[in-house]
Structure 1
């Protein structure tokens, strides 16, 4: 059974309660609170906000003698709450309780409502006993305000030959934040906190860099492979900590990148590829809560098949565990793919592909929606009001070096079939070829060699892009949550990178079901603000920008590439124009002069800004001709 907690709603956004009670600084205080309640029972649980069941998912309340569970809402009287029949709070005086536990933060108001019902010799405690330090709160009077909980998790490793680097920007001041700080807590693989620290954030739009080698040297740590918990204090505008994550080694066989973990644990994830014969696929499970994951609670199944094979061991609070997919499914091979039965125990996980040639790469699975139903209107609207409809764009990297492969990945439990096709375009948006997958069954895993589909056609400029779209001639079942995995293979070295994402409606004036999405505020999102982290010396950086359009839009983009120092100051600006429906592939060392790069210095980045259209971007690092990385970019 999944954890019975609310983590995210596509209507209301992310929940703050699970973040507040599961925060690493709240967990030790919770242990003290539970011990106190066990010692001063029997306890009357007063649950005016319906939080008790969620609290019980994180902490063992079984040692607390229960005098009764009481509610404020008349309609909840008689329902089951925490295994007990809920009683009206007006019955509290006859409870015989020694302590009243008010299951709420900012509890003074709730306590005031029932003060006349609490006998004078009865003690009162609340969730306020679990509060993090007040100076960590942006809104102390509203403890569960989402801006008190701008948090996220990162997979973080430093071992011989394996290092990680997190790069982001202090984007909160542009939404009114002041004096932002970063609190970080590093857990080892067993879930033990081995270091924590607080540091000021850089000036507005400045670069945030956390390098595992530097952390290790500064704090005198040994090897680690675990979780780095990040909490931005004083956030505004965004309650999610977005970042790019690079993995690199002592040589170029280890070079890869991915991005933020999507801070809300989900019931399922999907898009985890099975290994090829010469590979192992390692799923990194990071317990995101202060409670163990029970044995048998999480596992894998082949996409479209019911048999779930689980991990037969308990995973400690905040622990990180490597699961080799071959241990559960020894015969599964690419292009087969897995569903991850996560039960809301962990955030969007990374996986690592280890090849027998010594090369490694990381990528992430995606959230599989459990709340969607097919949308019968999409077939009628596509080709009319919403034009091309949902588009999932990805680069076709220069085929003289890279092979581009596309694998559609079901990403909703309602997707019993996928009617899709791939359309290939040159850099100017001219169609080159298309491939109809037909109406794929959920259990089908069909990979398309996009580069081979080009055959002998010339690719003007040496690059282009592919769009995965619905094919309503093949079927009509669609929900708008269209996803795929894109794999890029270096023909010279065998190095591989892969990335996955979902479709959107792009660049249309009309709005349909919150699309085109906006980085901040209501749709439509018709502008671009993308973060391009730059590789460290001697690496170069590649960037592939796609200008997808569901309906006809501006003939060309008006895009600025703003080279920005680590302190947020602009160094240089280049203007580029991308044809509507086309793309642009470029490299940092070619776009900006040596003088500009020297002026930008270490830990600079490029802000990709366009107020006329919404671009979709991919970025990566180039280690000469020996290795590369690639992932899609984040915006803010």
Structure 2
């Protein structure tokens, strides 16, 4: 397990981790360790663990602390010594493990061993023009970064779509710095792009990148760093994968989630006629050693280790059958990632069609919460996990609940299915599902043929009629299959309490505001290459809320100009399918272009949505939307 702290739901992201793991910092740490010789580390802020995990080549001869209560503690594999002993160290260099360390360095100087040089982490800082807040290095806005699964291999291309949503928070002059890593981890290209000056749409297509830099076929990962941001320190995007060789493959996924995790879940085992490939991408400048990663059937407790090294920033296509032969859908797989990778993609290959989806972070900090069993009536059905039921004339919709906490041994669930008008058409008790289960549900098996012919939605809900436990981190994998073409898409997400004025801990929540100020701000990309975009918007409510939503759809172009606004109304607990070509004038959609987008805005409630594109020939993509 890599000794780093990344993210937790109470404190948010660990900025020190991002500062040390940034590819530029990794290069400078490598240079520091190569020239420093024997080193004594002074650790005033308790960051020696991640520092030495991300810079293991340092020849550390002693680690020193000021806090007398910390003396003797293990940090980064070393027992901490009192700072008063530093002058006796036999070292070439003293490394002060702190940023913005000028004053502290001055005070440390009299304690240095004879002849030892003093270094600080200021030597591994990003260049000034990469910093949004130059005067405060460990400000989260200096590290608005993410990774992107990026390839252009002659068969598939990838397309990142986002918007300059920081402009809405007052940011000016936002720009993107990129580092493209090849399959083996080498840097293929580095460049900078300007974001739109206003809240405009932005697209980065792998075909354009390949042409721009004269690259051959590649598969790897793209590091993206947004500079000049405000309001949000997370880079959010939608990523399309589409065929360039005339094949029918098409899929989309959500952003990569910039924080590595010990484990990930929601990885499906293949059907007998499928191959499931997990794209393992090393997120750090240090090698992942053989045996550090493993796959396990969820709930089996028998992880199988991957016995090969993965170089810094390298990408490995791991066929899950290599480690877990004979395991098939609806079994699901747990990925023991050791905090080496951000949220990975997986690829399902079936016949001539390939689809991409992502796994989710499995929480190590959650335990069962007995308060969820006794939520008051004011919170209604409590935690809900909504997902679309696509039009049943064309699509099959399946749901597989996925344990998403290491302590989750059982999950008592019910499935509530709703029509577009908000009327509940069926309740299906799924039981108290054990961690190792095959509890997939085909929505078609629950409904007559003529019910929800044009679609609707369903919600997973906790149901304690036969006992069980809950932690609030309910997740599911949703698979949508075209009944004629055989094309499929899948998505996964977690539960929230939706649209109640009363609160429980940090629920309900939205991207901005607290109850009763919940609101919606969702991003819908437009279609490309003749493919038409669509989305399903769901108005989930744990308890009765406003009878109908007041939802505005705002069409923007690539420069941030708003071209048109349309209004729709969704019944409480209802849903609607939206196609921009039907909502807006054709001339405005054409003017918005492929780099434009739709902002879905509602100040009366929080909506939840899934988006995709349809190629008109049986191919489609579908994943949950993001907001800002």
Distance (Å, rounded) in 1 between the aligned partners of 2:53 and 2:516: 38
Name the counterpart of 2:299: 304
Distance (Å, rounded) in 2 between the aligned partners of 1:65 and 1:486: 49
For 1:538-593, what per-residue CA distance to the aligned partner results, in whole angstroms no more than 9, with x for missing partners?
11111100000112111000000111101111111110000001000122222223
Distance (Å, rounded) in 2 between the aligned partners of 1:399 and 1:407: 18
Q: Is the 2:512–2:518 Cα contact (8 Å) retained in structure 1?
A: no
Distance (Å, rounded) in 2 between the aligned partners of 1:350 and 1:65: 36
Structure 2 residue aligned with 1:44, among 40, 46, 49?
Answer: 40
Alignment of 1:209-224 (within 5 A): 209-224=203-218
| Higher deviation after alignment, 107-116 or 609-618 | 107-116
State the SS of the aligned residue for 2:107: helix
| Higher deviation after alignment, 338-347 or 77-86 | 77-86
Shift of 1:83: 3.5
Name the counterpart of 1:260: 255
Shift of 1:35: 1.5
For 1:250-306, what per-residue CA distance to the aligned partner results, in whole angstroms no more than 9, with x for missing partners?
335110000101100000000100111111001001100000111011111001101
Name the counterpart of 1:432: 425
Name the counterpart of 1:343: 338
Structure 1 residue aligned with 2:55, among 41, 59, 64?
Answer: 59
Alignment of 1:433-452 (within 5 A): 433-452=426-445
Q: Is the 1:516–1:524 Cα contact (8 Å) retained in structure 2?
A: no
Name the counterpart of 1:80: 74
Name the counterpart of 1:273: 268
Name the counterpart of 1:353: 348
Distance (Å, rounded) in 1 between the aligned partners of 2:53 and 2:40: 19
Structure 2 residue aligned with 1:190, among 184, 187, 196?
Answer: 184
Alignment of 1:556-595 (within 5 A): 556-595=548-587
Name the counterpart of 1:6: 5
Distance (Å, rounded) in 2 between the aligned partners of 1:456 and 1:27: 57
TM-score, structure 1 length as denominator?
A: 0.96
Shift of 1:220: 0.4
Name the counterpart of 1:465: 457
For 1:398-424, what per-residue CA distance to the aligned partner results, in whole angstroms no more than 9, with x for missing partners?
111111111111111121011001111
Name the counterpart of 1:625: 617
* 1:352–1:202 CA distance, 2 compared to 1 (3 A): same
Distance (Å, rounded) in 1 between the aligned partners of 2:553 and 2:333: 38
State the SS of the aligned residue for 1:627: coil
Shift of 1:311: 1.2
State the SS of the aligned residue for 1:568: coil
Structure 1 residue aligned with 2:167, among 169, 173, 187?
Answer: 173
Distance (Å, rounded) in 1 between the aligned partners of 2:113 and 2:362: 49
TM-score, structure 2 length as denominator?
A: 0.97
Alignment of 1:23-42 (within 5 A): 23-38=22-37, 41=38
Where structure 1 has 5 or more consecutive residues not aligned to the other structure, the ranges are: none
Structure 1 residue aligned with 2:282, among 277, 287, 292?
Answer: 287
| Higher deviation after alignment, 626-635 or 46-55 | 46-55
Alignment of 1:39-438 (within 5 A): 41=38, 43-61=39-57, 64=59, 66=61, 68-118=62-112, 121-250=115-244, 251=246, 253-356=248-351, 358-381=352-375, 384-438=377-431
Q: Is the 2:282–2:315 Cα contact (8 Å) retained in structure 1?
A: yes
Structure 2 residue aligned with 1:482, among 474, 481, 489?
Answer: 474
Q: Number of paired residues?
A: 627
Distance (Å, rounded) in 1 between the aligned partners of 2:238 and 2:519: 21
Structure 2 residue aligned with 1:514, among 486, 500, 506?
Answer: 506
Q: Is the 1:483–1:503 Cα contact (8 Å) retained in structure 2?
A: yes
Distance (Å, rounded) in 2 between the aligned partners of 1:281 and 1:84: 41
Shift of 1:326: 1.0
Q: Is the 2:3–2:76 Cα contact (8 Å) retained in structure 1?
A: no
**Does 2:448 match 1:455?**
yes
For 1:301-322, what per-residue CA distance to the aligned partner results, in whole angstroms no more than 9, with x for missing partners?
0011011112110000000111
* 1:12–1:447 CA distance, 2 compared to 1 (3 A): same
State the SS of the aligned residue for 1:354: strand
| Higher deviation after alignment, 222-231 or 14-23 | 14-23
Please report the RMSD computed on the Cα atoms of aligned residues, expressed in angstroms: 1.5
Shift of 1:164: 0.4
For 1:94-125, what per-residue CA distance to the aligned partner results, in whole angstroms no more than 9, with x for missing partners?
33444221111111132133233236743211
Distance (Å, rounded) in 2 between the aligned partners of 1:550 and 1:177: 36
